[in-house]
Amino acid sequence: MAPVLGVDVGGTFTDLVHWDGAAITTWKESSTPEDQSIGVVDGAERLGRAKRFLHGTTVATNALLEHRGATTALVTSAGFEDVIEIGRQDRPSLYDPFADRPEPLVPRRLRFGVPAQVAGWEPPEELAGAGAVAISLLYGYLRAEDEDTVAAAVERALPGVPVSRSSRVVAEFREYERTATTVLNAYLAPETGSYLDRLARRGVAAGLPGDILVMRSSGGLLPIAEAAALPAAVVLSGPAGGVVAASAVAGVLGHRRVVSFDMGGTSTDVCRIEDGRPELSYERAPGGYPCRMPSVAIHTVGAGGGSIAWRDQGGSLRVGPHSAGAVPGPAGYGRGGTSPTVTDANLVAGRIDPGGLLAGTLRLRSELAMAAVDRLGETLGLDRSAAALGILTVVEEVMAAAVRKVSVEEGADPHGAHLIAFGGAGGLHATALARSLGMAGVIVPLHAGVFSALGLLLSPPRIDLARSHLRTGADAAELSGDIAAVRTAAMDRFAASTGETAGAVDIRLDVRYLGQSHELSIPWVDGDGWDQIAAAFHETHRRRNGFARPDDPIEVVTVRAEVTGTAALDIGSVVPPPPHGEGVTGARPVLTAGGTVEATVVRRAGLATGDEVVGPAVIEETEATTYLGPGERAIVHRSGALELTW
């Protein structure tokens, strides 16, 4: 097998995983916010040559949140120029009358209407100032040729300016969401395309392949050229890799119900996974802007190792969402940061080695962490120990609320489910989090500190395609034709994109009760008739919403096809390296709610299959640390994963 490199960029660190066909090599590089490609290539040069280059990036997300997109124009049907500003009647915050929607990405002066008969339309002169153009006609999801005609006129008037068409971005009904997604795509296209171009050029100069595959939000890979043209599909590129890897590990360990828990330096991402399939969402709103692209249903909170602890106006201790980032980073990094962070609290508590090397390269400064925690403690009337434990308790409650969001609030009971914890800081808080939610146990997988990068190697090439066709029971015959057409179109697009034959095609249907304004997505298999579709929908509705109305008619509104190929790496090929060196290396005091205890310090690399570690203990590895409290224990699974119980 040809060597393959996976690189995932986070807010604090850039994680790299290299597979040479026999063994995995990992590395962590400090992220370079000014240009992610610098950190990516610098880290890649340390791991050797690769024939395939897979990439997870936050560049589209950052461009949106920091409002660094292009000056965007909207061309739409006359009379619908203000749809993106009118939006829906729902409010950003139900009980906060001062919470406003974000400003539209297209100012009023750059919204233009076209007549119903688009032939002969010419762009107005005012369009000339746009750096990107979105085209979303009222019936563009049904009549793509009209949008093609308008796009041709725009491209003649503005050569070289990126043009996004709703019929190619998201060919679904609902003009607001479709238009908003197309605008989002146009807004991000120049920034995303520029970054990917720099990455490819810089990578080729360093000896890396230029035909990079980029992780899409739905958990698969697409070619770099398509990612540049469809940035709305990669808004959640970064965290999707970890969800894919968590799904694979859950299958190896035989767990049907898990929640992935990715705690990095800047944020924590959680996602529910059932029967090996991550929950998917088709209605995300990053930064408050609707994005009608399929994505793993990740819920993100500003709670990472670099999250800053602070005292609010009411005198309460708060943690996040602001982060110290990579530079200057937590106070304990010794890079000039002075604000107390979660990492500093873990240093003070002894969960992170006060004299250790972070990611194998960065010497930690525990005295600086103590000074930062002391300053916060003075404002709260707490001593150092109480302030550190307070920070850890608060951040764990923030993360627990995130897990409830993807489980309890969606009709799924976390009891009996396992938490798959990864990211540099995931193992430090996993057992406290899982125990507070009544979960069955915790899994800390092999290579947990770079797990999202590993997930890139486990992700297949993928195409997602959707077409809206409103069908009732009287239209069952037409629905079969709709499904066949979408399946064929998706397979053709996959072959054109990847040059591969599709390995699997999954069909899903968006279904609702007749008259409902929202729908649920259900799987469809060959041979399913209207009765089977209705039964699956009623059961899904009952599980998600607590009730069903089996006597009421239903309506299928959208047909979706997911086409996937073959991943670069199979999870079964990832075997733990043989143990080397001592397992137990000593002990050190660790703060707990019950006082200071002496915790065993264990090298994960020294553990063999079947070995057991009993808490209080700290299990250390180059990219991550796992903490076991009193009464907790870890057993090494044959896959190399740690199974944590209590």
Domains of the chain by residue range? 69-191, 237-301+396-457, 307-394, 462-566, 601-645
Closest among 403, 260, 264 to 343, alpha carbons compared: 264
Mean pLDDT of 385-406: 96
Joined together, the tokens standing for residue 65 give 């949140």
Radius of gyration of the CA atoms of the chain, in A: 25
pLDDT at position 575, please?
87
Given a cut of 70, whether residue 88 has pLDDT beyond it is: yes
Mean pLDDT of 416-440: 96
Given a cut of 70, whether residue 472 has pLDDT beyond it is: yes
Closest among 601, 583, 584, 26 to 355, alpha carbons compared: 601
Closest among 340, 362, 364, 335 to 352, alpha carbons compared: 364
pLDDT at position 311, please?
96
Joined together, the tokens standing for residue 249 give 């590990």
Q: What is the pLDDT of residues 221-248, one digit of tens each?
A: 999 999 999 999 999 887 899 999 999 9
pLDDT at position 94, please?
80
Looking at 3.30.1490, 3.30.450, 3.40.50, 2.30.30, the CATH number of the domain 462-566 comes to: 3.30.1490
pLDDT at position 389, please?
97
Joined together, the tokens standing for residue 476 give 């069952």
Fold type of domain 237-301+396-457: Nucleotidyltransferase; domain 5 (3.30.420)
Q: What is the pLDDT of residues 446-461, one digit of tens each?
A: 999 999 999 999 999 9
Split at pLDDT 50, 70, 90, the class of 602 is very high
**pTM of this structure:** 0.92
SS3 call for 102? coil
Mean pLDDT of 568-573: 92
Mean pLDDT of 633-637: 97
Joined together, the tokens standing for residue 554 give 């239903």
In whole numbers, what is the pLDDT of the chain averaged over residues? 93
Is residue 564 within 8 A of residue 504, CB to CB? The reply is yes
pLDDT at position 359, please?
65
In this structure, which amino acid lies at residue 546? G
Is residue 174 within 8 A of residue 138, CB to CB? The reply is no
Q: What is the pLDDT of residues 244-294, one digit of tens each?
A: 999 999 999 999 999 999 998 888 999 999 999 998 888 888 888 999 999
Residue 249, CA distances (Å) to 242, 421, 509, 581 in order? 10, 11, 28, 26
Report which DSSP code applies to 461: B
Is residue 521 within 8 A of residue 279, CB to CB? The reply is no
Higher pLDDT, 418 or 23: 418
Report which DSSP code applies to 127: G
Split at pLDDT 50, 70, 90, the class of 441 is very high
Q: How far apart are the first and last CA of the chain?
A: 41
Percent of the chain with pLDDT strictly greater than 90: 79
Given a cut of 70, whether residue 619 has pLDDT beyond it is: yes
Mean pLDDT of 130-155: 96
Mean pLDDT of 416-436: 96
Closest among 591, 599, 596 to 615, alpha carbons compared: 599
Residue 226 has φ and ψ, to the nearest 5°, of: -70, -35
Please, what sign has the CA dihedral across residues 109, 110, 111, 117? positive
pLDDT at position 544, please?
87
Split at pLDDT 50, 70, 90, the class of 173 is very high
Could you give the CA distance from residue 165 to residue 186 in angstroms, rounded to a whole number?
A: 9
Sort strands 257-263 and 418-422 into parallel, antiparallel or unpaired. Answer: parallel
pLDDT at position 360, please?
66
Q: What is the pLDDT of residues 496-520, one digit of tens each?
A: 988 887 678 999 999 999 989 899 9
